[in-house]
Structure 1
């Protein structure tokens, strides 16, 4: 009996070692190397476009910030989720509390691989599953713009996550399911305008992060892309923005572009909730960007309310 117990214990120990080794290998960070960087530096003037398209200030500026304060990216917005509460960090150019000491490659790896400069996994509350679609030159333009903003020495707040979500290394397993590392590729069958809109929606605009339902593991269920989803805070529902009967099917391209610019729907209602902040960001884009978003949204696959739940 003793030999059986001992054998079983040794077997369990061996299994634990194998499982631990497999976990370690499967969760290894997979950073890009410097070969992905172009020869020329980023252009801050071009990067401002991606700053507003990406809504950087909406999460990384202090809660309630207005006007010029939106450019002080000290962090602090709390993001509620079924997995705990995440706090948007300081991404100002401060070299200690912000990202002022990050290299261009550090920034690209954060945006496309979800990795901190030390190689640790970033939580996907930071929507790198969408930002990975952006091109490296566009990311370098964004970094150049961020470098022009005011440095702020406010320390980032720690996330409030229960076990096992507090084990950051485990995000590596999640990435194996939901991070493919692919840059946006234009569809040759679509117009240049529609492809530009697709890039904005799928990449910097990260519209799927709120408007697409998620799986039990928190990944995007892209079979119902943009079809509406439960609000991750547990309060209400994020609307369907596909051209189906439950979404924006009766909106024209002009209606969509106008709503993004003015904040008013075709029924003269005003956009509210967290979308109001998104709309204010979109209003800072060029008209051609909003028109492209509208053109793209009008030709995505419609999703019924029943499908998206």
Structure 2
């Protein structure tokens, strides 16, 4: 089994009535143990991200505000929840988890976080349930430390990865691809290196038919040393905040094609779970576990 990363702090213990289904992180980890995908105590546990790492992608004043729980009300409104001590620690650990997944992927070819994909956080701060952009920070750290020289971000969350696009807008070392619902959040889109805007109601076959050419083009143009894969499950037909119509089988085949293509070409790939929104935590957590089940096929 490829390494799986989890930290108890991924769950900041929101009220179950909150729009953001925070409990899914705890339940996802439980399911992975219950179903034998990881042994009890078998998760790789990340360290919280250092402020110096976070400042590679975000304004230092914003980073300091998060770490001292002094984020403005205006910024908290953009994020969608107050940034208290638990949220700050959760966000640091999620970044640490994605960085650890990337480092383990460089060693063994594939690793997956049980959080991550907070792609709406941009250079100036958080937005859209995203406090820190874990993929952007991890990519910056790997580049700064000389572990890689080129990065591909392959983002299949139903919402555009606008924060990631803005962070790397002037960085030729990072190629950003966002495959998202055209009419979904955010209203004001950024410009990724490659944006694929999809019509409402798109189903499995039409979605999957796009992947071979997109993967080929992105890998050809990015020439990456590592791929960060955002496997958001909000393209699912039952997602509360999505506008597409993929099934569980469609999501699994999407993950299989992305991971399979990268592994066939010898590219390390780090998976993050991205978005997924439902009041039914059990169904949602199992949907997120599709990424880890498919990753097991490539162990």
TM-score (norm 1): 0.27
| Structure of higher CA gyration radius | 1
